[in-house]
A and B are shown apart, each in its own frame.
Chain A
């Protein structure tokens, strides 16, 4: 079974500081993709960053970066220089590579940014 676990239901960070959101997953597949999505109050799921499992290099998108530990099945998201607009629900998601069109989502982490 494919499962995604986010152990931090809520996190807070001071504006301009750095925060790390945790995610672990369980899979027996070798080809898969990992994602972090952000869901603000507008409800739309917005892609923050993605990582292909076959790539050893950690993905980076501006202030967002991941720490991908394949052997440990860990995929954490680091947000640097946090901004008020980063406040949202963050979901870690997994998708099987070759045939999978289905995302498996974690339960989410609610991030509060303190001015």
Chain B
């Protein structure tokens, strides 16, 4: 059974650009959540999607957005990139009450 797949693994962008990250959940998982991990702030919740609807959103500016497709794949978009957006972005898919599985993340570097 394939795990949670995040692409790309690494990304380098310039300040002011925008970026789209992709997350393919485990087959059958309908919930996808996104987290930002930085050395200074640790792991912070971005948002969660379930059946193409955003159910919950963390305390991030509107430059951070996401969506989920009918096949449960999710994308996260960050517009007008800032140096502080450099981070590891983790995606997690869920089944049932406990079955969260994380991907290996996308390492975004903004220069």
Contacts and interface: CB of A to CB of B under 8 A. Distances in A.
Interface of A: 33, 37, 42-47, 50, 91, 101-108
A43 B105 contact: yes
A47 B21 CA distance: 23
Contacts of A47: 100-101
Contacts of B31: 101
B81 interface: no
B49 to A, nearest CB: 10
Contact of A101 (B3, B43, B55, B103): B55
Interface residues of B, number: 24
Chain B CB within 10 A, most for which of A42, A44, A50: A44
Contact of B43 (A44, A50, A103): A103
B102 A45 contact: yes
B50 to A, nearest CB: 8
B42 A45 contact: no
A105 B36 CA distance: 11
B104 A106 contact: no
Interface in B69-83: none
Given A101-B33, A108-B42, A43 B98 contact: no
Contacts of B88: 43
A94 to B, nearest CB: 12
B23 interface: no
Contacts of A106: 42
A50 B42 contact: no
Contacts of B29: none
B18 interface: no
Pairs of residues from A and B, 4 with the lowest C-beta to C-beta distance, nearest first: A45-B102, A105-B43, A44-B104, A102-B45
Contacts of B33: 101-103
Given A91-B43, A102-B45, A105-B43, A50 B98 contact: yes
A67 to B, nearest CB: 20
B56 interface: yes
Contacts of A105: 42-43
A56 B31 CA distance: 29
Contacts of A104: 45
